[in-house]
Amino acid sequence: MEISGEEDKEEAVTLPKEVSKISISDGNKFVYQILNGPNEQCFENFRMDKPVFYKLCDLLQTRGLLRHTNRIKIEAQLAIFLFIIGHNLRTRAVQELFCYSGETISRHFNNVLNAVIAISKDFFQPNSNSDTLENDDSYFKDCVGVVDSFHIPVMVGVDEQGPFRNGNGLLTQNVLAASSFDLRFNYVLAGWEGSASDQQVLNAALTRRNKLQVPQGKYYIVDNKYPNLPGFIAPYHGVSTNSREEAKEMFNERHKLLHRAIHRTFGALKERFPILLSAPPYPLQTQVKLVIAACALHNYVRLEKPDDLVFRMFEEDTLAEAGEDREVALEEEQVEIVGQEHGFRPEEVEDSLRLRDEIASELWNHYVQNMSTF
């Protein structure tokens, strides 16, 4: 249900361009006409191809999470939800298009959201084909992906705004995610206040009941916001990345290239579900669920249709590499102190540092011996 008063403030909205191509004599036929029209209309309006859409309907019905009602079939219920999160529209605009009351739109939106959340764990299961780097990087051969935090806009009451105001003064939730190199999310932790440090959120992800699991003998790469720890390989601090004269500098350069994978993953997520680009007027719990549900559906589509339009936009070879040559000076690292906060033993932290040094040494030695391959 929307926050009271938000409907009165609603600005004019622009409906998807494909809507104008559909002759709507009765709003109740809107979904039927889209699903029986060209596949492009389904993708534009519901953010996934028709076979993927229908399979999701079947899955939710088979699991007993959604059912047909006298007035609205499951296809229409799912369509309402996807239309809202896929175009960041408010209830008023959607109810006028679908010709249902605001209460009906809100009720089915929440029903579908809870249904997706109920099966979201299935969509976060590791993909056996993407446990290692797709480009077979022999130096980071045990790397299973990237971990990073992102700030998603959030709407909260005046009394709650303090903790959610981030360092830039914006109201956000700090979302930690682990992504593989094939644009999938392995783990997502949403709902932390925007003022929480990235390190705090990672600590929570490693200690909560449903915690972030790092496969034995594997690791994620993280950026300079995090220390180098067992299971998490960070760049060297205090080392620039615009030169290739030292082993540490070369390591940081290669590390930065790999780290871009998570930005491509989040880019595809927000392109498909732009509701994450601005704070929707829902209760906080619903806003947190929306992040999880969007990531779960992102994974679902990636498994069912890995080459759809959105994913093609964010494949590595078509991604614009902004700021590639910018020099980055990282703050001094305090690994021993932070590492102990995680409960890791000092020798475990030392092992993780040694692993990083070994990778850097291999990179440098190969560069010196085979300069033409770099």
- Across residues 126-144, what is the average pLDDT? 68
DSSP three-state, residue 205: helix
- Report residue 24's pLDDT band, with 50, 70 and 90 as the boundaries: very low
On the CB side of 193, CA atoms within 13 Å amount to 11
Is pLDDT larger for residue 76 or for residue 316? 76
What backbone torsions phi and psi does residue 350 show, to the nearest 5 degrees?
-60, -40
Whether the pLDDT of residue 52 is over 60: the answer is yes
Residues with Cβ within 8 Å of residue 187, at least 6 apart in sequence: 124, 176, 177, 178, 205, 212, 213
For the chain, the average pLDDT equals 84
Residues 179 and 276 occupy one common structural domain: yes
Residues 114 and 196 occupy one common structural domain: no
Residues 271 and 365 occupy one common structural domain: yes
Enumerate the β-bridge partners of residue 185. Answer: 179
SS3 content of the chain, % helix, strand, coil (to 5): 50, 10, 40
333 inside domain: no
Please tell me the total count of domains within the chain: 2
Residues with Cβ within 8 Å of residue 292, at least 6 apart in sequence: 117, 120, 188, 190
326 inside domain: no
Residues 197 and 271 occupy one common structural domain: yes
- Given a contact cutoff of 8 angstroms between Cβ atoms, the answer to whether 130 and 180 are in contact is yes
Whether the pLDDT of residue 366 is over 90: the answer is no
38 inside domain: yes
285 inside domain: yes
Residues 112 and 150 occupy one common structural domain: no
- Rounded Cα distance between 195 and 261, Å, is 25
Residue 212, judged by CB atoms within 10 A of its CB (0-12, 13-18, 19+), counts as buried
Whether the pLDDT of residue 280 is over 60: the answer is yes
Residue 29: the pLDDT is 80
Is pLDDT larger for residue 243 or for residue 269? 269
- Across residues 194-207, what is the average pLDDT? 94
Closest to 90 in 3D by CA, of 136, 155, 160: 155
Whether the pLDDT of residue 1 is over 50: the answer is no
Residue 373: the pLDDT is 55
Q: Minimum mean pLDDT among 28-42, 231-245, 254-268: which range?
A: 231-245
135 inside domain: no
Whether the pLDDT of residue 39 is over 90: the answer is yes
Residue 56: the pLDDT is 98
**In Å, how far are 126, 145, 231, 259, 359 from 133, measured between CA atoms?**
14, 8, 16, 12, 15
DSSP labels for 255-266?
Answer: HHHHHHHHHHHH
pLDDT tens digit sequence for 222-236: 999 999 999 999 999
**Domain range enclosing 73:** 26-123
pLDDT tens digit sequence for 314-354: 986 444 443 333 333 333 333 333 444 566 888 989 999 99
Which helix or strand (DSSP H or E) is residue 77 part of?
Answer: helix 74-87
pLDDT tens digit sequence for 111-126: 999 999 999 999 997 6
Q: Which of 123, 153, 180 is the last residue of a domain?
A: 123
- Given a contact cutoff of 8 angstroms between Cβ atoms, the answer to whether 28 and 105 are in contact is no
Residues 165 and 224 occupy one common structural domain: yes
Cα dihedral sign for 122, 124, 126, 130?
positive
Residues 265 and 159 occupy one common structural domain: yes
281 inside domain: yes
| Angle at alpha carbon of residue 50, lines to 30 and 181, rounded to 5° | 130
Residues 244 and 292 occupy one common structural domain: yes
Whether the pLDDT of residue 26 is over 70: the answer is no
Q: What is the percent of the chain where pLDDT is above 70?
A: 79
- Report residue 241's pLDDT band, with 50, 70 and 90 as the boundaries: low
- Rounded Cα distance between 117 and 191, Å, is 14
Residue 96: the pLDDT is 82
Q: What is the percent of the chain where pLDDT is above 90?
A: 68
pTM of the model: 0.85
- Given a contact cutoff of 8 angstroms between Cβ atoms, the answer to whether 183 and 268 are in contact is yes
Residue 240: the pLDDT is 66
Residues 200 and 284 occupy one common structural domain: yes
